Homo-oligomer: A and B are copies of this chain.
Amino acid sequence: MRPRLFTPGPTQIPERVRVAMSNPMMHHRGSEFKEILAGVIDDLHYFFQTEGDVFVLTSSGTGAMEACVVNLLSRDEKVLTVSGGKFGERWGELCVAYGANTHIHNVPWGDAVNPDDIKKFLRENSDTRAVFITHSETSTGVASDVETIAGIVHNNSDALLVVDSITSAGVLPFKMDEWGIDVAVTGSQKGLMAPPGLSVVAMSQRAWERVGSSNMPKFYFDFKKEKVALAKTATAWTPGITLLMGLRESLSMIRAEGLENMWANYARLAHATRQGALALGLELFAHSPSDSLTAIKVPESIDGIKFVNRMREKYGITVAGGQAQLKGRIFRIAHMGYYDALDMVAMASAVELTLRDFNWNFEPGAGVRAVQRIFMEDE
């Protein structure tokens, strides 16, 4: 049995990335490192489809989210956060922690936010300074319509639109400048196909104007310090050097493949996986499913925690279970990362084998066949 990782972060990463990280250490102020950082920054502009500034921070994605809050806002400023899962909730928690006047728009877990609800809020609250949303909600597998929301935010307010694109950047179509997204964040262990430990913030010029007036306390996550450093092809603080060595490789691979091809591949993997689940009589959790990951309901007759453990212990496949209120109720399969069609066929097989172990009633092979059919149709 060989271990296969299918969690929606960290995801499986290419051998080329792993090998690059085992190279000898280098100093972060030397020309060798500067070349790596310059290449990474250049490719991240492409990755986010933006000409704005891009910073690499040494933190998890949550650190980058905090960085947005403390750099873009001042105390008591009105903000809207959209919460339809664990990560949408986090925007609200962060804004509250730093003393913003925080309005939380709750969406049932499994649903995408209705863009009209954002429009309504902004029309009634013209003093809203920023809207914080989640593009792909990792806890529920739901994708939101960021393009439409961006249009609504800019046509109805002066608010900034700040997008958690942690599990969408590089995976779902994402065009920062074209859509008018002001700030986007991601983490290294998702669509970037590198280990966790780095996060990325991409910023529009419009967002920069807010940074100048922000009065929230900050130091480690201070964008002004990062901007000064970046002008010298450096980071404000000692960065995760090995992780950047790895990221250099994965970004080169992404650039060689092309974003449009990456997006299309992920859409195909996700579509096939959803078809496989349905063919086994399983239900999808998300009503607007993200192509980054698929959240599948565990049948009520099966203990969801045991199901996930069984798949890992007997078949070597690690998927994620549900978090918070979804604990034991769903399992989540990553598509973002270093995966191809045959990985999803293997995954479907593991799901079938595990369902069999729990005496679920289904036609053996139906899931694998449904997954494979999508790839056959594509030829």
Contacts and interface: CB of A to CB of B under 8 A. Distances in A.
A18 interface: yes
Contacts of A9: 238
Contacts of A21: 18, 21-22, 242
Contact of A58 (B22, B63, B238): B63
A241 B30 contact: no
Contacts of A246: 242
Contacts of A195: 25, 240-243
Interface stretch (A35-43, A127-135, A215-223, A277-285): A215-223
Which of A10, A19, A23, A66 has the most chain B CB atoms inside 10 A of its CB?
A10
A66 B221 CA distance: 10
A93 B240 contact: no
B219 A93 contact: yes
B242 A197 contact: yes
Nearest to A236: B62
A104 B315 CA distance: 59
A75 B26 CA distance: 39
A312 interface: yes
Interface string A219-250: 11100000000000000011111110010000
A163 to B, nearest CB: 19
A216 to B, nearest CB: 8
Give 7 nearest A-B pairs by CB, closest first.
A197-B240, A22-B22, A60-B237, A195-B242, A18-B22, A97-B219, A60-B238
Interface of A: 3, 5, 7, 9-13, 18-19, 21-30, 58-63, 66, 93-94, 97-99, 187, 189, 195-198, 216-221, 237-243, 246, 312, 318, 320
